[in-house]
């Protein structure tokens, strides 16, 4: 079984490309199904956030090359036809792929190290793939070890002691701009996790007036009450811009909510004073062309990199410790992988020696038949124990061998086993209901228990 990961993120790819690669939630199921239909794919998962799109697949024998993923991205993003994504794509296999995924889940690869949202996004991506029956033993184990890494990083290090996130970075930028927020009017567009974090941070900063704008009126009023803010419908967007000092935009819209025509009208109606806009949405919600108007300043998610650098430096020591934890979890995963690859060989050896033992007992059946029943039981136990003790060093050597293929060849020749042994343990097909009839190792971990 081969694990392969490929993707783009904020380190390799500018926002202009990332926003076009991000999968809207309503399109993710179709993309996953298309991925699962590709030749050789047994398990599949897609992680799509504002800062990364990563694709994980499990195949039987050969790892897909970068062209496999590039063609899939082009296929599921027709708008990118004619654009080369090769300079931006990273491609990892085996333990390198697992290590990267563990670091992503533990927020060690995030724009802001230690931000909490990514772990939830990984869980959501896993559950989506699982609901489509695209998660098997390999991705299940990778996910469990990744979540274990994340939990240990948060409990055993101080990496998340400060409330750092993209939303927090946006609020830090606001504080740097205005110094005192108590007399400022802030307009917040959106009601998702990042928008709510922004509202929470703004309240802690003592912002004068906070207005929330959502398309869902019921949810908007509920959030406004929770964060001691005002609610305004999107039909009032232009009027709200006229009276705002700062706008923070974090919605799931795939078009510009604030465009140049709207800002031209707002600019003519505003009194003296600057208007700062922070667009932390991907795709972007504010047209970059608005910056040609005097007194209007726009920052997007890439601009926040300079704001978060100080926080990242403070966390470097904790990140070093966190990476040691991740590597420990990687070692656990590697042992699971090695054990899984040796299971068929060990089982075949056990079956072979057991058949020899039974055959020998059958040869002496006439003699054994004259013995008392308790003595025959002792003979049976003695032969089982003797074979187990003889084979125990061989079992250990198989499990600890760095080259499974080499030890398989040696054991096969030495004990006369069939040459066509399977190379991995029996695994359910992607179409089976993983959450139902098939029992996966450590599945109780999803309910909060420790993995086996």
194 among the known binding-site residues? Answer: yes
Query: Which helix (H) or strand (E) segment is 54 a member of?
Result: strand 52-59
> Residue 164: what pLDDT?
60
Say whether pLDDT at 451 is over 70. Answer: no
Question: In the structure, what pLDDT confidence band is assigned to residue 409 with cuts at 50, 70 and 90?
Answer: confident
Give pLDDT, residue 197. Answer: 83
Q: What is the mean pLDDT of residues 116-123?
A: 92
Domain extent listing, the chain: 2-162+314-334, 166-311, 343-429
Split at pLDDT 50, 70, 90, the class of 430 is very low
pLDDT of residue 28: 94
Question: Which of 50, 171, 249, 414 is flagged as catalytic?
Answer: 50
The answer to whether 110 is a known ligand-binding residue is yes
pLDDT band for position 204 (cuts 50, 70, 90): confident
Q: What is the mean pLDDT of residues 33-37?
A: 94
pLDDT confidence of residue 55: 97
Answer yes or no: are the C-beta atoms of 142 and 167 closer than 8 Å.
Answer: no
Q: Residue 316: what pLDDT?
A: 76
Assess whether pLDDT exceeds 80 at residue 452: no
Tell me: pLDDT of 321 over 60: yes
Average pLDDT on 205-225 reads 92
Instruction: Describe the strand order of the beta sheet including 275-279 as a list of residue ranges.
Output: 230-232, 209-213, 185-189, 246-249, 275-279, 296-300
In sequence order, what DSSP letters do the residues of 132-171 get, joined into one string? TT---HHHHHHHHHHHHHHHHHHHHSSTTSS--SHHHHHH
Averaged confidence pLDDT in the chain: 84
Q: Which pLDDT belongs to residue 355?
A: 87
Superfamily of domain 166-311: NAD(P)-binding Rossmann-like Domain (3.40.50.720)
pLDDT at residue 96, rounded to an integer: 94
Q: Is residue 141 a known part of a binding site?
A: no
436 annotated as ligand-binding: no
Of 320, 35, 388, 304, the closest CA to residue 153 belongs to 320
Integer CA distances (angstroms), 223 to 197, 199, 214, 226, 241, in order: 11, 9, 10, 5, 20
**Strands, sheet with 41-48, edge to edge from the N-terminal-most edge strand:** 41-48, 52-59, 2-9, 90-93
pLDDT band at 446 (very low <50, low <70, confident <90, very high): very low
Q: What pLDDT is recorded for position 289?
A: 92
Pairing between β-strand 2-9 and β-strand 209-213 as defined by DSSP bridges: unpaired
**Residue 439 banded pLDDT, cuts 50, 70, 90:** very low
Query: What average pLDDT score do residues 385-409 get?
Result: 77
Burial code (b: 16+ CB inside 10 Å, e: under 16) for 437-446 equals ebebebbebb
Tens of pLDDT, residues 211-220: 999 989 999 9
Does residue 109 have a known ligand-binding role? no
Q: How many CA atoms lie within 13 A of 177 on its CB side?
A: 23
pLDDT band per the 50, 70, 90 thresholds, residue 443: very low
Q: What percent of the chain has pLDDT over 70?
A: 86
Specify the pLDDT at position 129. Answer: 96
- Average pLDDT (327-353) is 81
What pLDDT is stored for residue 307 in this prediction? 67
Q: How high is the pLDDT of residue 308? A: 67
Would you list the DSSP string of 241-305? HHT-SEEEE----SS-SB-HHHHHHHHHH--SS-EEEEE--SS-SB-GGGGGSTTEEEEETTTTH
Q: Is 437's pLDDT higher than 80?
A: no
What integer is the mean pLDDT of 338-364? 82
192: annotated binding-site residue?
A: yes
Concerning whether 50 is annotated as a catalytic residue, the answer is yes
Tell me if 34 sits within 8 A of 75, measured CB to CB: yes
Residue 165 has a pLDDT of 67
Average the pLDDT over 136-143 and give the result.
92
pLDDT digits (tens, 9 = 90+) for 159-182: 876 556 677 778 877 888 888 888
Q: At what angle do helices 404-415 and 373-400 cross, to 10 degrees?
A: 140
- Least Cα distance to 190 among 133, 253, 99, 138 occurs for 253
106/351: higher pLDDT: 106
Beta bridge partners of 258: 286
44 annotated to bind ligand: no
Buried b (16+ CB within 10 A) or exposed e, 44-56: bbbbbbbbbbbbb
Q: What is the mean pLDDT of residues 306-320?
A: 74
Lowest mean pLDDT among 17-21, 247-251, 306-310, 346-350: 306-310
Per CATH, which fold does 2-162+314-334 belong to? Beta Polymerase; domain 2 (3.30.460)
117 is annotated as contributing to ligand binding: yes
Is 396 annotated in a binding site? The answer is no
pLDDT given at position 422: 59
Q: Which two tokens stand for residue 227?
A: 């964060």
9 is in an annotated binding site: no
How does strand 41-48 pair with strand 52-59?
A: antiparallel
Task: Give the model's pLDDT for residue 212.
Answer: 95
Q: Which two tokens stand for residue 407?
A: 């030890």
Rounded CA gap, 319 and 125, in Å?
24
To the question of whether residue 128 is assigned a binding role by annotation, the answer is no
């Amino acid at each position: 079984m081969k694990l392969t990961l490929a993707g783009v993120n904020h380190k390799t790819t500018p926002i202009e490309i990332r926003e076009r690669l991000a999968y809207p939630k309503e399109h993710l199921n179709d993309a996953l199904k298309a991925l699962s239909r590709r030749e050789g794919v047994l398990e599949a998962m897609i992680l799509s956030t504002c800062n990364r799109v990563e694709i994980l697949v499990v195949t039987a024998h050969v790892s897909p090359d970068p062209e496999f993923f590039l063609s899939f991205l082009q296929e599921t993003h027709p708008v990118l036809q004619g654009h080369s994504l090769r300079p931006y794509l990273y491609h990892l296999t085996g333990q390198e792929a697992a290590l990267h995924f563990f670091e992503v889940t533990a927020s060690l690869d995030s724009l802001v190290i230690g931000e909490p949202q990514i772990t939830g996004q990984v869980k959501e991506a896993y559950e989506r793939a699982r609901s489509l029956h695209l998660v098997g033993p390999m991705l299940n184990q990778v996910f469990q070890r990744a979540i274990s890494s994340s939990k240990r990083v948060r409990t055993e290090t101080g990496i998340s002691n400060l409330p750092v996130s993209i939303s927090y970075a946006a609020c830090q930028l606001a504080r740097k701009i205005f110094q005192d927020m108590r007399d400022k009017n802030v307009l917040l567009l959106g009601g998702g996790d990042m928008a709510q974090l922004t509202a929470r941070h703004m309240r802690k900063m003592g912002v004068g007036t906070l207005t929330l704008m959502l398309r869902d009126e019921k949810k908007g009023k509920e959030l406004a009450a929770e964060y001691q803010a005002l609610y305004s419908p999107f039909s009032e967007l232009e009027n709200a811009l006229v009276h705002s000092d700062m706008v923070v935009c974090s919605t799931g819209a795939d078009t510009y909510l604030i465009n140049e025509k709207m800002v031209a009208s707002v600019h003519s109606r505003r009194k003296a004073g600057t208007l700062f806009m922070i667009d932390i949405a991907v795709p972007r919600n504010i047209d970059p062309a608005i910056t040609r108007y005097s007194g209007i300043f726009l920052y997007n998610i890439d601009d926040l990199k300079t704001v978060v650098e100080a926080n990242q430096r403070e966390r470097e020591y904790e990140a070093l410790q966190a990476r040691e934890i991740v590597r420990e979890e990687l070692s656990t995963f590697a042992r699971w992988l090695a054990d899984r690859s040796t299971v068929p060989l060990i089982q075949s050896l056990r079956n072979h020696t057991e058949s020899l033992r039974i055959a020998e007992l059958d040869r002496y059946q006439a003699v054994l038949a004259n013995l008392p029943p308790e003595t025959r039981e002792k003979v049976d136990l003695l032969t089982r124990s003797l074979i187990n003790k003889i084979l125990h060093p061989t079992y250990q050597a198989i499990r600890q061998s760095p080259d499974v293929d080499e030890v398989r060849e040696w054991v096969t020749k030495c004990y006369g086993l069939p040459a066509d042994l399977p190379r991995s343990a029996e695994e359910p097909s992607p179409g089976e209901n993983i959450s139902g009839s098939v029992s996966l190792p450590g599945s109780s971990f999803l309910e909060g228990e420790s993995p086996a």
